[in-house]
Homo-oligomer: A and B are copies of this chain.
Amino acid sequence: MLSVAALSLRLGVSGCQGSKRSIATVISGSKTSKVVRDRLRAEVERMRSQVFGFRPSLVVLQVGDRDDSNLYISTKLKAAAEIGIDAKLTRLPNTATQDEVLQSVMAVNEDPSVHGLIVQLPLDSVNHIVTEQITNAISPEKDVDGLSFINAGKLSRGDLKDCFIPCTPNGCMELIRQTGVTVAGKHAVVIGRSKIVGAPMHDLLLWNHATVTTCHSKTPDLPQQVGRADILVVGAGRAEMVRGEWVKEGAVVIDCGINHVSDETKASGKRVVGDVHYSSANQRAGFITPVPGGVGPMTVAMLMENTVQSAQRFLLKMAAR
């Protein structure tokens, strides 16, 4: 076992600890995601040496041409290329119908050379497309975003080894692990219950044996609930809503929020903040993720992890035949 200090050095947890500590140790997602990506690159190289020419393969399916989607996709393709994953973009025009999108999904499902398929959301089509029908048409074995009901059902019922875990909560767990704080037996509080952050985060913490409380917009006593959290994960989508004085002394605070607020001191006139009021929370937390540079960079890294995992499962199935 590594000491926390050693882990900090290796894995991007920085700051000061001990009895004189007055501010939280920062958990750097930028550094941790690099560690993950380095590990994955080595893993892909190992696979290539075992099976000549083999590469994990990912398809990103885009409908339309949204600027924000283009940016996210290029980040994913770049990360994949650096790791050695063969990632391709399939783009349908914004005139695509639901049937055409489904046909594209089916074609990738049936292509044995592809190990992962994600559909970039939101779908940008002039036609009415039911997003849920598209995400649930993805073969569960290739659903590396983990958003299909089958993968959600497995995760929510504790079948973690046989599913794909959504990338943001999976990244949060990786950051929590970096702190060296044991999850089992702790009281974890999750704020938010979305399909991509809060709900799967609850499941992950629960099946890592924390006692988990889920809070949301209908929770009347949020400060009190937050005050009981040894581990706090916030995916509320409201700028700086969690105040430092709510936070339990020494808690692990993971902030999934990405909110743009106006800031006249910046050239752009705005800046990015999380769902946690950082400068007060870091006075009480034991560990805290910054925004930006915390959870954000982990999401793409965990998508790569799921893709490599899918390729590994594919190779295991091949070997078993």
Interface, chain A (partner B; CB < 8 A): 132, 148-159, 184-185, 187, 193, 195, 199, 203, 206, 209-216, 218-221, 225
Residues of chain B lying within 8 A (CB to CB) of residue A132: 159
**In contact, A193 and B206 (Cβ under 8 angstroms):** yes
Q: What are 15 residue pairs bridging A and B, where the CB atoms are less than 8 Å apart in the complex? A: A148-B153, A149-B150, A151-B153, A152-B153, A155-B156, A156-B199, A156-B203, A184-B218, A209-B218, A211-B215, A211-B216, A211-B220, A211-B221, A212-B214, A213-B214
- With the chains together, A150 CA to B157 CA distance in Å? 11
Interchain CA distance A195-B203 in the complex, whole Å: 13
This chain: copies in complex: 2
Give Cα A148 to B216, complex, Å.
27
Q: Could you tell me if B158 and A219 are in contact, using CB atoms closer than 8 angstroms?
A: no
* Shortest Cβ gap from A158 to chain B (Å): 7
A156 to B221, CA, bound (A): 23
**Which residues of B lie under 8 Å from residue A184 when comparing CB positions?**
218
Additional 9 contacts, C-beta under 8 A, given A206-B216, A211-B214? A132-B159, A149-B153, A150-B153, A151-B153, A152-B157, A153-B153, A157-B195, A209-B216, A211-B220
Q: A154 CA to B136 CA in the complex, in Å?
A: 11
Pick from B154, B193, B216: contact of A149, CB below 8 A: B154
Please tell me if the beta carbons of A213 and B216 are within 8 angstroms of each other in the complex.
no
Cβ-closest 4 pairs across A and B? A149-B153, A153-B153, A156-B156, A152-B153
Known contacts A149-B153, A157-B149; decide if A211 and B193 are in contact (CB<8 Å): no
Residues of B within 8 A of A199 (CB): 156-158
Chain B residue nearest in CB terms to A217: B209
Q: Are A185's CB and B152's CB within 8 A?
A: no
